[in-house]
Amino acid sequence: MRRWIHAIPARLKAIVYRRRIEQDLDDELAFHVAMQARANAREGMTDAEAYRRARLEIDGVEQTKERSRDVLPLHWARDAIQDVRYGLRGLRKSPRFTVAAVLTVVLGVGANATIFSVLNPLLFKALPYPEPERIVQVFRTSPQSDRWPHSMANYLDHRARNTVFEHLAAVNWEDTSFAEPGQPAERLFTLRTTGNFFGLFGVGPLIGRTFTDADDQAGAGEVVVLSYGFWQRRFNGDPTIVGRAIRLNGGNSTVVGVMPRDFEYPLFWGNIDLWRPFAATAQVRQDRGNNFVREFGRLKPGVTPDQADAAMKAIDKQILAEHANLDRREGMRIEKLNIVNPVMRRMSAFAFGLTFLVLLIACVNLANLQLARTAARAREFAIRGAIGGGKGRLLRQSLADSLLLSLVGGAIAIPLSFWCTRLIAAQQFADLPDVRVVLEPATLAFAFGSAMVTGLIFGAVPAWLASRADINDVLKQNPQSMTAGPGPQRFRKGLIVAEIAFALIILSGAVSLVRGLQRITAVDPGWRVDGVLAARLNLVGPTYSDPVARRSFFETLRDRVAGIPGVASAAVSSSSVPTATFSASTSFAVEGRTDSVLAYNERVTPEYFATLQVPLRRGRLFTADDRFGRIPVMVINEAMARALWPGENPLGKRIGNRGPNPNWREVVGVVGDVTFPSFGASYSVDTAFETYQPLAQTGTQFVNILLRTDRQADVIASELRRVVSALDRDLPVYGLITARAAEQRQTASLRLLANVLAGFAALGLLLAAIGIFGVVSYSTAQRAGELGMRMALGARQSAVLWLVLEQGVRLTMVGAAVGLAGGLALGRVLSSLMPNLPAPEVSIVLGAFAFMVLVAIAAFSIPAWRASRTNPMLVLRHE
C-alpha cells in the first residue's frame, strides 16, 4: 500500500511532462554514448569505431529507449494509439485486402446476429412467467398423433387424482362476438379457461381481479378478464372498466379485471383479446367423448417432468380401466412448456448450428487474408524489427490491425443485421403484431464479441508465425521473389481445405433439410387447394339460439353464396380449410367393437366434397335428403375404413356415440384421405381417421363458408360480405382467406427456415470463394517472378496455368472429400433429430459436392489465368 504512494509524484510528473521525458531520454543516452565513446577512444580505437562500440554496448540506442518507455506509466495507451494509427494507415494502403476482410466480417457477424435475433425468441427465451421450468403441457396420445386434447371429464379426473401438480388447468381457444349497441360487431380471440388458470401462470391482474373457481361453476354470472391490448384498443385503457358489463355473444358479461401487457405472449398463445371461464354444464363435465381442452400444469416444487409423466400415465391407466369404452391405444404424455413445438425447436437449433459454421468460414477467411498480408509485410516487419521495434510490439501491431478490421466490420454488420432482423420479423410474424423481435443488447454483445474474438485469434496466429521468421533471412531475400516459409505455407493450405470442407458441409446440410421440408410440404393434401376461399361466422345470440333457425340460416347463406357469379360451388362446414387440422375430434363407438375409436369429427353440407374436390372412393356422398328425421349417416376416409374393416365392405357399418345411447350412424360413403403436415414430436404426414356428418343432422355454432371460384379472391370476398350483411347486419364475417394463403401461413416458419438455410449455403459458398480467390491471387503474385522466368524460357501459357491450377485442384479435392464425409455425418445428426424427415436423394448430395468443386476450381482459375497472362518481360525487368 505505502509503496505506490511514494510513486505518485514521480508518475504524475511522468504523465504531465511526457514530452520533456522523451527529450531527457535522448539527452541521457547521448551523454552515455559520448562518455563511453570517449573511454573507448582512449583505448586506441578510431572515433568511428569507438562510437559504434558504444552504441552496441548499450544494446542499440533506439531499443533501449523503447524499453525505457515501457517503464513509463500509461505507455500502453500511447502504444495503442500509435498501433491504431499505423493500422489505419496500413489498411488504407492495401484497399483490396481491407475490403475483402471487412466484407468477411460483415457477412459472418451480420448473418449470425440476424439469425440469433430471429431465433432468440423461439429457442432461448423462456415464457415470461415465474418459474417457467415448472410449467408443462399434458397431451393425450394415440397412434395418429401425440398432441391430442382431452375431454372435460378426463381433465376433471386428472385434476382430482394427481399429486404432482400444484395446479392443473384446462383451456380452449374460441371466438366471441363482441357488439356494443350502435357499433359493428367484432370477433374477439378468446381463451376459455378453468378458474385456476391465472394462478397456474403466477401472474396477477393489472387492475381488478382474475378468476376464482367460483367463476368456473355452471350458472355463475358471466365474467371476463380483458387483455391489455384489447383494453387499450377498445376502451382506451379506461381505468373504470372493472365492473362494467359488455355485450358478448348477445349476452351481458362483467369485466372483472385486466391483465398486464407482458402476460399475453402472442408467440405462444396467439392474439388473445379476453379470457372467459369455462363454467361448463354438468353434461359437458361428464362427457368423455368430446376432446377439446388443452391441459397445462404447474409442477409441485421438487417434482420433475419425468415423475409427473409417470404419474399421469398411471392415472390414465386407471381411467382406461374404469371406462371400458375408451380407446385402449390412447396414452398420456407430458411436455415441458416451450414456445414452439419440439420439431421446430430442433430444426431452429440445427439452423443455428449452421450459422456457426458460416462464422467459422469467415474466421478462416480472415486468418488466411491476414496470413497472406503478414507474409507480404514480412520485410516491413523485419526492417521495423531491425530499427528497434520489439517482437511483442510487432505482434501487437498485427493484433491491432485485426481488431480494427473487426471493429469496422462489426460497425457495418450491426446496423445491417438490425435492418435484416426487422425485415424477417415483419415477414415471419406478420400475423402477430405484438411479437417483439428485436436486436437485443445481448445479441449485440454476442455479435461484437464474436467479431472481436475472431479478430484476436485469427490475427494472432499469422502474426505469431511471421514473428518467428528470422530478421536476417527475410532481409537477405529479394522482396519480389520472397515467399512465406514452409510453416505459414502449410497452414494456409490447411485453411483452404478447411474452408472448402466447411462450405460443403453447410451446403449439404442446407440442401438436405430444404429438400426434406420440400418433400413434406409437397405431399398431396388430398384436395385441390387452389381456387378455394374460406370465411368464418359465429352464429350466437338470441337470433340463433334455436338449432332449427341456425340450420335454416346457413342453408339460405349457402344458397346465396353459391349464387354469387363466378362461384362454382359453396359449402358450410364446422372447420375451415383443412390445412393444419380439423377443429374437432371425437372418441366414437364402433358397432361390434368394445373399445372406442378416436377420429376427427367434421360436419359439412353435401357440397363440401365437391368444393374441396375430395374424391369419393365408395358408396355415396351426402344429399339434401340427409337431414333430421332421416337415417343418421356418416362418410369416412379410406384410412379409417381400411383400419376398421380390413378386407370388408365398410358401407352399412355403424358408428355412434359411446355410452348407453349410441345413436348409430350408418357409413354410406368412403372418401379420399385429407392429409396435412403434422408437427408432433416427430415431423410426419398425419393421415388420421376422418369422419364427416351432415351438418343438417348435427348443427354447429361456428360455421365456415368454403367456396370454389376462378375469380379474383378479393372481388368474391366483398360479394360475400354483402351477402352476409344482407342476411344479418350484425353478423361479422372474419378470417377471410384463400386456402392457398392459409396453407402458406401454416408452412411459413418452415419456408423461412428453408430460405435461411439456402441463404447460409450461399453465404458459405461466397465466403469460401472470396477466401480462395484472395489467397490464390496473393500466392500467384508472389510467384510472379518464377512464373515469368518459366515463360521467358519458353513455357506455354497453358503449362503455367496448369502449374498454378494443379495445386488448387488437389486442395479442392481434399477439402471436398472431407466436406462430403462431414456432410454425411451431418445428415446422420439431422435424421436423428427428425426421424421422419425424408432422407435426401443421393443425387442431391452428389450435386452439392459437384457444385462445391466447381465453385472452388473457378475461384482458383481466375487468379491462375491472370498469372498465365502476365508479360514475362515486365516481371523480369522488375527483378
Partner 1 sequence: MSKPPDLVWGTLDLLLLKIVALEPLHGWAISQRLKHVSGDELQVSDGSLYPALHKLELAGWITAEWKTSELGRRAKFYSLTRAGRRYLDQETAHWHRLTSAISRVLALKEM
Q: Give min distance, CB of 42 to partner 1, in A.
A: 13
Q: Up-side HSE of residue 211: CA atoms within 13 Å toward CB?
A: 29
Q: Which is nearer to partner 1, 32 or 329 (CB)?
A: 32
Among 16, 18, 35, 810, interactor with partner 1 by CB under 8 A: 35
Q: Does 3 bind partner 1 (CB under 8 A)?
A: yes
Locate 651 and state its grid cell: 358401407
CA dist 343 and 322 (Å) reads 35
Q: Which is nearer to partner 1, 12 or 430 (CB)?
A: 12
Stretch of 26-34, 274-282, 379-387, 504-512 lying at the interface with partner 1 (CB under 8 A):
26-34
**In contact, 844 and 504? CB cutoff 8 Å:** no
d(CA 430, CA 425): 7
Q: Which of 17, 18, 27, 871 binds partner 1 (CB under 8 A)?
A: 27
Find the binding residues for partner 1 in span 214-253 (CB under 8 A). none
CB 463 to partner 1: min, Å: 21
Closest among 169, 162, 160, 161 to 136, alpha carbons compared: 169
Give the whole-angstrom CA distance, residue 879 versus residue 718.
81
How many Å apart are CA 857 and CA 327, to the nearest integer?
Answer: 62
**If residue 665 lies in a helix (H) or strand (E), which one and from where to where?**
strand 665-671
How long a stretch of residues is the chain? 879
**3 state DSSP class of 684:** strand
- Per CB under 8 A, does 36 bind partner 1? yes
**Quick one: CA dihedral 706, 712, 714, 716, positive or negative?**
negative
Greatest alpha-carbon pair distance for the chain in Å reads 135
The DSSP annotation for 373-393 comes to HHHHTHHHHHHHHHTT--HHH
Element containing residue 424 per DSSP (H, E)? helix 391-428
Q: Which residues are CB-contacts of 836 (< 8 A; sequence separation ≥ 6)?
A: 682, 683, 684
Least distance to partner 1 from the beta carbon of 3, Å? 7
Closest approach of partner 1 to the CB of residue 36, in Å: 7
Query: Could you say which of 18, 67, 261, 869 contacts partner 1 (CB under 8 A)?
Result: 67
**Span interacting with partner 1, options 67-75, 235-243, 347-355, 754-762, rule CB under 8 A:** 67-75
Query: From the CB of 386, what's the least distance to partner 1, in Å?
Result: 12
Q: Under the criterion CB under 8 A, does residue 60 sit at the interface with partner 1?
A: yes
- Could you tell me which stretch among 7-15, 442-450, 593-601, 863-871 binds partner 1 (CB under 8 A)? 7-15
Q: Are strands 596-604 and 633-637 parallel, antiparallel or unpaired?
A: unpaired
Question: Is 45 an interacting residue with respect to partner 1 (CB under 8 A)?
Answer: no
Residue of 41, 45, 63, 412 interacting with partner 1 (CB under 8 A): 63
The answer to the question of residue 390 lying near partner 1 (CB under 8 A) is no
Exposure string for 245-274, b = 16+ CB within 10 A, e = fewer: ebbbbeeebebbbbbeeebbbbbebebbbb
Q: Looking at 33-41, 142-150, 725-733, 832-840, which segment touches partner 1 (CB under 8 A)?
A: 33-41
Of 74 and 314, which has the nearer Cβ to partner 1?
74
Residue 72 or 857 with smaller CB distance to partner 1: 72
- Considering CB under 8 A, how many residues would be counted as binding partner 1? 29
Asked if 9 interacts with partner 1 (CB under 8 A), we say yes
58 or 523: CB nearest partner 1: 58
Query: x/- contact string, 69-88, with partner 1 (CB under 8 A)?
Result: -xxxx---------------
14 binds partner 1 (CB under 8 A): yes
**Binding segment for partner 1 among 31-39, 309-317, 444-452, 867-875 (CB under 8 A)?**
31-39
Q: How far is the CB of 28 from partner 1 (least distance, A)?
A: 5
Pick one of 16, 17, 18, 24: the residue that binds partner 1 (CB under 8 A). 24
Binding status of residue 19 toward partner 1 by CB under 8 A = no
Closest C-alpha to 202, from 126, 119, 123: 126
Name the nearest CA neighbour of 521 among 677, 673, 755.
677
Torsion of CA 262, 267, 273, 274, to 10 degrees: -70
**CB 58 → partner 1: shortest distance, Å?**
4
Kindly indicate which of the ranges 20-28, 297-305, 726-734, 827-835 contains the residues binding partner 1, using the contact rule CB under 8 A.
20-28
Q: Distance between CA atoms of 868 and 784, rounded to whole angstroms?
A: 9
User: Could you say whether residue 548 binds partner 1 (CB under 8 A)?
Assistant: no
Q: Can you read off the three cell numbers belonging to residue 832?
A: 436423428
Of 24-32, 123-131, 706-714, 827-835, the window that binds partner 1 (rule: CB under 8 A) is 24-32
Among residues 63 and 543, whose Cβ is nearest to partner 1? 63
- Contact call for residue 726 and partner 1 (CB under 8 A): no
Q: Which stretch binds partner 1 (CB under 8 A): 59-67, 148-156, 332-340, 624-632?
A: 59-67
| CA Rg value for the chain | 38
Minimum separation from the CB atom of position 12 to partner 1 (A): 10
Q: Read off the C-alpha cell for 655.
A: 358408428
Footprint of partner 1 on 320-379 (CB under 8 A): none
Instruction: Let me know: does 187 contact 272? Beta carbons within 8 Å.
Output: no
Q: Does 133 bind partner 1 (CB under 8 A)?
A: no
Based on the shown chain and the rule CB under 8 A, indicate whether residue 29 belongs to the binding site for partner 1: yes
Under the binding rule (CB under 8 A), the answer on residue 777 touching partner 1 is no
One-letter identity of residue 810 = R
Q: Does 6 bind partner 1 (CB under 8 A)?
A: yes
DSSP codes joined into one string, 259-324: --GGG--HHHH----EEEE----HHHHT-SSEEEEEEEEEEPTT--HHHHHHHHHHHHHHHHHH-T
Terminal Cα-to-Cα distance of the chain (whole angstroms): 63
Cell representation of residue 709: 371460384
58 vs 284 by CB, closer to partner 1: 58
Using the rule CB under 8 A, which residue among 26, 47, 59, 431 binds partner 1?
Answer: 59
Binding site for partner 1 (CB under 8 A): 3, 6-11, 14, 24, 27-29, 31-32, 34-36, 57-60, 63-64, 67-68, 70-73
